[in-house]
Amino acid sequence: MGMNNMFDLYNIRSNFPIFNQPDLPPLVFLDNASTTQKPTQVLEAVNQFYCRYNANVHRGIYKIAEQATEAYESVRDKVAEFIGTADRRNIVFTKSTTESINLVAYSWARKFLKTGDEILVTEMEHHSNLVPWQLAAQHTGATLKYIPLNKSGSLDMSSPERYFTKNTKLVAISHQSNVLGTINSVKEIIGYARDVGAKTLIDGAQFVPHSKLDVQNLDCDFYVFSGHKMMGPTGVGILYGKADMLETMDPFLGGGDMILSVTMEKAIWNDIPYKFEAGTPNIAQVIGLGAAIDFMKNMNIDSIDSQVRMLTSTAVSRLREIKGLTVLGHENGIDSTSVISFFHKDIHPHDIAHLLDTFGISVRAGHHCAQPVMDKYDLSASVRVSFYVYNTIDEIEQLISGLQKTMEYFR
Amino acid sequence: MDNLRELYQQVILDHNKNPRNFRFMEDFTVKADGHNPLCGDKLQLFIKIDGDYISDISFMGSGCAISKASASIMTEELKGKSIADAEKLFKNFRNMITSGEITSDDIGKLEVLTGVHKYPSRVKCALLAWHTLKNILDQNDTTTTTE
Ligand SMILES: Cc1ncc(COP(=O)(O)O)c(C=O)c1O
């Protein structure tokens, strides 16, 4: 209750224009794992850039070009500090988590992997942390192996020696599942990877929006996430990479800004991280992400974490009270938060999501870009609700009553 | 609840709960699989053809209320029809479900699905069984998708 009061006092929802449209019915937005809503502070930062100092970065010698470069580059420092690295060269701006993963798959995996090598993923991955590795494996002759998922919702780490072998060259796993909400013991997994000399990539798309990240402490080689899932604009992804890794990699895209000098025959790459940022970047969106990080820091990341956990555990117990409905994962002893998937024994997820929408509640129905997870549970689809810091207990009650009405309707 | 009724009419709810011709067929002439990758729905359609006529038709599979009801009503409407009439009905149904307009009087009970056109994400659900049918009519015995 204390936490709830704190957030009531802060009145967080008043910062989000989408929740304050008097001409529309209230929006109960429970699809935050997909993307989050944007506070005025973020919209205003984007707007200010376009209205007051719109110019390209790293090029002009006039005042607003320098201002734009300074604003853009200061977000790099902000991100570095936010995820626990002192070295700004570790931070590459991309378009999304998906692009960050593909960058590593092309510039690192395709360069260094060969026949006989193994890429280790898990059965829990979002397609974006699976398909790029399938492609890289096809291209290099490496094999793809995976750590299986238990039905309880956690990874089966009972015999790690089966998965981590001398052939394992890369371990790519999600920090948190976008279907089950399970937070994986990535520190332990990174340890196993290091023991066999494998590199590591952690997909933090779901974890970073509500949890404190310390990449130095994790000691992973790569860490990726998306700005739009943490109140930032769409179009910005982050790739954290250890400097020595980034140095050995070839550029991903060629073009302007990523070179030091070019003749008609060849180019000399720019230093990291610029080597990986070809062409005009998403300047406004990066600046917007900076405002989102400020907003999160003002709220305090630990408070965001406890608010989201409180909402999640409340929703899990309320959903479990409903007859005929099964929640995936979230079993005792499994660290899980923010995302809940469930299904009803008779009503198709599509129908549930559609009816909830008519009550003004936005939820997701489908396979959530994680078909192997659905297969594990013998489902073709599930309903997914996911929370963020601006959601309320009252919205959970609306969800429950919407579900009850849905069941009544399809009885 | 009003806008709900527009999509989920009583007849649809009924077909969802008690789908007609929802069974495996042993002596089929042709069968085909349909798949909606968006929601993972899968459907199997069986047709028995006598001369130019559909003498029996049935389906199996899992799906949302819209896709199940659409398949169920389709089987009811097609049983006993000629292949040529089935082709015609396919065209008229597809036209209705995408435009919301009924331009032909052979649409019969399928009219209850007119509301679907307002929900683009659900049009695919309603068309799954029909695309699978079309696949059979075109003698193209592979898996159909509604993408
Ligand atoms: C775990 C996980 N990885 C990757 C992604 C892909 O993120 P994006 O679409 O921003 O590239 C998502 C988004 O849904 C996700 O949840």
Number of domains in chain B: 1
pLDDT of residue A2: 43
Residue A264 pLDDT grade (very low, low, confident, very high; cuts 50, 70, 90): confident
Q: Which residue has the higher pLDDT, A394 or A264?
A: A394
Token pair of A358 as six digits: 């008519």
pLDDT of residue B146: 56
Tell me the per-residue pLDDT of B106-123, one tens digit each, with 9 for 90 and over: 888 899 999 999 998 899
Residue A10 pLDDT grade (very low, low, confident, very high; cuts 50, 70, 90): low
Per-residue pLDDT averaged across A135-140, rounded?
A: 98
Q: Does A180 touch chain B if contact means CB atoms closer than 8 Å?
A: no
| CATH code of the domain occupying A9-36+300-410 | 3.90.1150.10
Q: Which residue has the higher pLDDT, A1 or A119?
A: A119
Per-residue pLDDT averaged across A166-185, rounded?
A: 98
Per-residue pLDDT averaged across A263-278, rounded?
A: 90
Task: Give the ipTM.
Answer: 0.85
pLDDT of residue A7: 56
pLDDT of residue B38: 74
- The Cα angle at residue A84 between residues A81 and A87, in degrees rounded to 5: 65
Q: Is the pLDDT of residue A270 over 50?
A: yes
Per-residue pLDDT averaged across A230-235, rounded?
A: 98
Contact call for residues A75 and A294 (beta carbons, < 8 A): no
Contact call for residues B34 and B62 (beta carbons, < 8 A): no
Q: Is the pLDDT of residue B141 over 70?
A: no
Q: Does A410 touch chain B if contact means CB atoms closer than 8 Å?
A: yes
Q: What is the mean pLDDT of chain B?
A: 88
Q: What percent of chain B has pLDDT over 90?
A: 67
Q: What percent of chain B has pLDDT over 70?
A: 93
Per-residue pLDDT averaged across A389-407, rounded?
A: 97
B16 CB neighbours in chain A (<8 A) are 410
Q: What is the mean pLDDT of chain A?
A: 95
| Cβ-Cβ contacts under 8 Å for A351 (sequence gap 6 or more) | A406, A410, B8, B64, B65, B66
Spatial CA neighbour of B22 closest among B75, B70, B88, B64: B75
Domain containing B26: what range? 2-146
A358 CB neighbours in chain B (<8 A) are 1, 3-4
The neighbour count for residue B4, using CB atoms within 10 Å, is 17
* Closest partner CB to B64 (pick from A351, A371, A409): A351
Active-site residue among A131, A135, A369, A379? A369
Tell me the per-residue pLDDT of B57-113, one tens digit each, with 9 for 90 and over: 999 998 899 999 999 999 999 999 999 999 999 999 999 999 988 888 788 889 999
Distance of CA A172 to the CA centre of its chain: 14
Known catalytic residue: A51?
no
Query: Distance from A383 to chain B by nearest Cα, in Å?
Result: 11
| CATH code of the domain occupying A44-297 | 3.40.640.10
Per-residue pLDDT averaged across B26-46, rounded?
A: 89
Q: Between chains, do B39 and A365 touch, taking CB under 8 Å as contact?
A: yes
Residue A380 pLDDT grade (very low, low, confident, very high; cuts 50, 70, 90): confident
pLDDT of residue A6: 53
Which segments within A227-298 are labelled E, that is strand?
237-241, 259-262, 267-269
Q: Is the pLDDT of residue A337 over 90?
A: yes
Per-residue pLDDT averaged across A69-84, rounded?
A: 98
Q: Is the pLDDT of residue A9 over 50?
A: no
Per-residue pLDDT averaged across A324-341, rounded?
A: 97
Tell me the per-residue pLDDT of B4-22, one tens digit each, with 9 for 90 and over: 777 898 999 999 999 999 9
pLDDT of residue A230: 98
Q: Is the pLDDT of residue A260 over 60?
A: yes
Per-residue pLDDT averaged across A110-130, rounded?
A: 97
pLDDT of residue A411: 86
Q: Between chains, do A366 and B122 touch, taking CB under 8 Å as contact?
A: no
Residue B143 pLDDT grade (very low, low, confident, very high; cuts 50, 70, 90): low
Q: Is the pLDDT of residue A189 over 80?
A: yes
Q: Does B41 touch chain A if contact means CB atoms closer than 8 Å?
A: yes
Q: What is the CATH number of the domain that holds B81?
A: 3.90.1010.10
pLDDT of residue A5: 46
Q: Which of A41-50, A316-325, B91-100 has the lowest mean pLDDT?
A: B91-100
pLDDT of residue A1: 39
Nearest CA in chain B to A402: B1
Backbone phi, psi, residue A174, to 5°: -85, 145
| Cβ-Cβ contacts under 8 Å for B133 (sequence gap 6 or more) | B32, B45, B47, B74, B78, B86, B90
| pTM for this entry | 0.92
What residue segments make up the domains of chain A, in order of their start?
Answer: 9-36+300-410, 44-297
Bond prior to A273 in cis (omega within 30° of 0): yes
Q: Is the pLDDT of residue A72 over 90?
A: yes
Give burial (CB, 10 Å; 0-12/13-18/19+) of A265.
exposed
Per-residue pLDDT averaged across A26-38, rounded?
A: 97
- Give the span between the Cα atoms of A172 and A66, in whole angstroms: 38
Per-residue pLDDT averaged across A126-139, rounded?
A: 97
Q: Report CA dihedral (A235, A94, A60, A78) to the nearest 10 degrees.
A: 90
Per-residue pLDDT averaged across A201-218, rounded?
A: 98
